[in-house]
Amino acid sequence: MFVTFEGLDGSGTTTQAELLRQHLEEAGRDVVLTREPGGTELGERIRELVLGGPEISPWAEAALFAAARAELVAEVIQPALERGADVVCDRYLDSSLAYQGIARGLGVDRVLALNVNAIRGILPDVTFLLLVDPEEAQRRSGPPGDRIEREGDEFLREVDKAYRELGSAFAGRITMLDASASADEVAKEVRDRLPGLS
Ligand code: TYD
């Protein structure tokens, strides 16, 4: 099973990915938890470049995220799925579709086309989209830590809208959850919606 978590910074993707990993491990499953951008040596270096560096052009940004993702799929995700492990990933393809495709205006289809070879056609079985008001997300995530978080309120609202559009467009794969509840309550929702668990 390949599960991803998506949402604004401050929506709780990292917490929920970790809680799901714990739950799956307690159920005796082999689990690999990873994150984007990052999760590999190259990915962590790209993370520094894309989030820590100066302003870069939108397609360079999209291509760097896709490169980090290609490495993560080749080195971590595909091998884990092939040996029968579960993979839980904090952000994946939909982050690029929301942030670069819609909020940056590059186009969902074009960003999808950029990524499709990079991910070797490996799509998540289930994607949990954690929805919180942008203001609440900002409050939770505290002062902006990276270049994308410093984009400001309007960009944040664009990303929120973008995620909701993706949630409707890919309703079969993406499960939208109200993430304004406590972490434990959201985690329970996640477990309830995963077939064969809970
Ligand atoms: P994240 O790792 O969630 O941030 P944090 O360091 O707070 O844990 O994500 C880093 C930022 O990168 C986040 O603002 C979303 C953005 N991002 C994209 O714009 N496109 C992508 O494809 C990915 C994976 C992340």
Q: How far is the CA of 151 from the centre of ligand 1 (A)?
A: 12
pLDDT score recorded for residue 53 = 81
Count of helices and strands (H, E) across the chain = 9, 5
Beta carbons within 10 angstroms of residue 175's beta carbon: 17
Q: Is 163 in the pocket of ligand 1 (CB under 6 A)?
A: no
Q: Please, what is the average pLDDT of the chain? A: 96
Say if pTM beats, i.e. exceeds, 0.85.
yes
Nearest CA to ligand 1 atom 20: 96
Measured in Å, residue 64 CA sits from the centre of ligand 1 at 12
Distances (CA, A) of 146 to 51, 57, 99: 5, 16, 14
8 Å CB contact between 126 and 134: no
Reported confidence tier of residue 58, pLDDT bands at 50, 70, 90: very high
Is the pLDDT confidence value at 198 over 70?
A: no
Percent helix / strand / coil, the chain, rounded to 5? 55, 15, 30
> 2 CB under 6 A from ligand 1?
no
Domain range list for the chain = 2-192
Atom number, ligand 1, closest to the C-alpha of residue 96: 22
- pLDDT the model gives residue 175: 98
**CB distance 5 to ligand 1 below 6 Å:** no
The pLDDT score that the predictor gives to residue 3 is: 98
Ligand 1: nearest atom to the Cα of 149: 14
pLDDT at residue 145 in the model = 87
- 86-90/126-131 β-pairing: unpaired
Q: Per residue in 64-90, pLDDT tens?
A: 999 999 999 999 999 999 999 999 999
What would the pLDDT profile of 89-146 be if each residue is shown by its tens digit?
Answer: 999 999 999 999 999 999 999 999 999 999 999 999 999 999 999 999 999 999 988 9
DSSP for 90-158, written as a single string: ES-HHHIIIIIIIIS-S-HHHHHHHHHHHTTT---SEEEEEE--HHHHHHHH-S--STTGGG-HHHHHH
DSSP-derived secondary structure letter, 12:
-
CATH fold of 2-192 reads Rossmann fold (3.40.50)
What is the per-residue pLDDT for 195? Answer: 73
